[in-house]
């Protein structure tokens, strides 16, 4: 007769109940600890917020108030288009208003183009130029800008203390005054307005003194249309004011053609431009419009009816030219 000597382990229902009670107690205690530290879990913005703010290095836990700030901004221009700004011209109330916020706060931008030039919008941490635009903060772009009367919305969430800048991202417009500051946390505001005014005003004073001599020398031979070879150049440097002083924004700026003759503009500048019939004061008249064409691009049109056709650049309205069709 053989016997099975293997041991069989069994438990009782009481022991099973104790085990389940212990496991349930562990879950409850863990849940209490987790939710008691809820403020800690939400005290720092998620990594994507830090990236939107332009940085990923933090000295310690960020202050996250979670506030939403609304900022209404309007693109405006001086009558001569030399000074550009948000909301009001320099020296007037609400000129390029400074925005103060904490890490993790969100700014909702509502922008509208109340000027006559083309504009676009974005936020950057760079203290000059128009690069480094933070994703999500853009409204339009330099290659597809807002026309007069158009607008849009965007948002900016800062991931770290510092000074950021909201700007017009069309090349040259920031330098003409379209830049405001966003102060995040304990950062100190950068003194930039006096520097911008000094840089703009000093060359204007010199140009005003020199203007009579330059205009007399250049305008006399240009007072009548010049002989045309088929191509008008948009020369380098026309994206900033000054070429209008010597009628050098389009070369030649005043041409004569026969009805039905094709005329071509070549963008030899580094900035984008338009060739738009009409005038900065009255706006486009609908005869022709190149739209925005980039550096190295060309635009051609044919004018079949005789008359005088003035034109200008919608992005840089100091640029003007004239065509006489015979």
In a domain, 311, yes or no: yes
**What is the model's pLDDT at position 192?**
60
- Domain check: are 165 and 241 in the same one? no
* pLDDT score for 106: 94
pLDDT of amino acid 17: 80
Does residue 293 lie in a domain region? yes
Domain count, the chain: 2
CB 317 within 8 A of CB 241: no
Which CATH number belongs to the domain containing residue 120 in this structure? 2.60.40.420
In a domain, 142, yes or no: yes
Q: Are 77 and 174 within one domain?
A: yes
Give the ranges where 223-324 is alpha helix by DSSP (H). Answer: none
Residue 80 inside a domain? The answer is yes
Q: What percent of the chain has pLDDT above 90?
A: 45
Q: What is the pTM of this model?
A: 0.62
Token digits of residue 21 = 């009670």
pLDDT of 69 reads 94
Q: Evaluate if residue 193 carries a pLDDT over 70.
A: no
Above 70 in pLDDT, residue 102? yes
What is the rounded CA–CA span in Å between residue 124 and residue 274? 26
- Residue 223: predicted pLDDT: 56
Please count the CA atoms within 13 angstroms of the CA of 181 that sit on its side-chain side.
16
Residue 271 lies in a domain: yes
Of residues 253, 248, 290, 294, the one with CA closest to residue 271: 294
The string over 191-216, giving b where at least 16 C-beta atoms fall within 10 Å of a residue's C-beta and e elsewhere, is ebbeebeeebeeeeeeeeeeeeeeee
Q: Is the pLDDT of residue 219 over 60?
A: no
Note whether 181 and 243 are same-domain residues.
no
Pair 98, 177 in one domain: yes
Q: What is the pLDDT of residue 197?
A: 38
Given a cut of 90, is residue 206 above it in pLDDT? no
Inside any domain, residue 13: no
Which residues, other chains included, contact 42 with Cβ-Cβ below 8 Å and sequence gap of 6+? 64
Question: Distance of alpha carbon 302 from its chain centroid, rounded?
Answer: 34
Domain boundary among 198, 213, 238: 198
What number is the average pLDDT over the span 284-304? 91
Range of the domain at 242: 222-325
Q: Has residue 255 been placed in a domain?
A: yes
pLDDT (average), residues 199-214: 48
Lowest-confidence pick of 62-76, 99-113, 121-135, 274-288: 62-76
Q: pLDDT tens for residues 140-187? A: 988 788 988 999 999 999 888 999 999 999 888 998 899 999 999 887
33-91 tens-digit pLDDT: 777 776 555 544 444 444 455 444 433 444 456 789 999 999 999 988 889 999 999 99
Please indicate, yes or no, whether residues 74 and 194 belong to a single structural domain of this protein: yes
Supply the pLDDT for residue 210.
52
């Amino acid at each position: 007769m053989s016997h099975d000597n293997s041991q069989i382990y069994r438990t009782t229902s009481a022991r099973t109940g104790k085990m389940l009670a212990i496991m349930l107690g562990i879950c409850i205690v863990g849940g209490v600890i987790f939710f008691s530290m809820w403020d800690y879990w939400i005290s720092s913005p998620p990594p994507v917020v830090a990236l939107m703010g332009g940085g990923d290095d933090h000295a310690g836990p960020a202050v996250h108030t979670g506030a939403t700030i609304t900022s209404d901004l309007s693109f405006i221009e001086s009558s001569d288009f030399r000074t550009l700004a948000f909301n009001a011209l320099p020296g007037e109330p609400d000129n390029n208003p400074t925005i103060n916020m904490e890490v993790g706060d969100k700014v909702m931008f509502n922008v509208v183009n109340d000027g006559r030039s083309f504009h676009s919008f974005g936020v950057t941490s760079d203290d000059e130029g128009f690069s480094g635009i933070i994703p999500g903060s853009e409204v339009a772009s330099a290659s597809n800008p807002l026309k007069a009367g158009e607008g849009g919305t965007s948002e900016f969430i800062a991931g770290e203390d510092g000074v950021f800048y909201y700007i017009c991202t069309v090349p040259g417009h920031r330098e003409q005054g379209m830049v405001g500051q966003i102060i995040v946390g304990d950062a100190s505001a950068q003194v930039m307005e006096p520097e911008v005014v000094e840089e703009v005003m000093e060359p204007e004073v010199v140009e005003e003194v020199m203007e009579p001599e330059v205009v007399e020398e250049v305008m006399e031979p240009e007072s009548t249309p010049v002989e045309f070879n088929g191509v008008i150049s948009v020369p380098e440097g026309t994206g900033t004011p000054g070429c209008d002083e010597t009628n050098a924004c389009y070369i030649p700026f005043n041409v004569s053609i026969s009805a039905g003759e094709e005329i071509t503009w070549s963008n030899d500048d580094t900035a984008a431009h338009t060739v738009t019939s009409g005038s900065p004061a009255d706006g486009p008249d609908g005869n022709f419009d190149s739209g925005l064409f980039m550096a190295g691009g060309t635009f051609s049109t044919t004018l079949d009816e005789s008359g005088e056709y003035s034109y200008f650049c919608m992005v840089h309205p100091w640029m003007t030219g004239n065509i006489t069709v015979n």
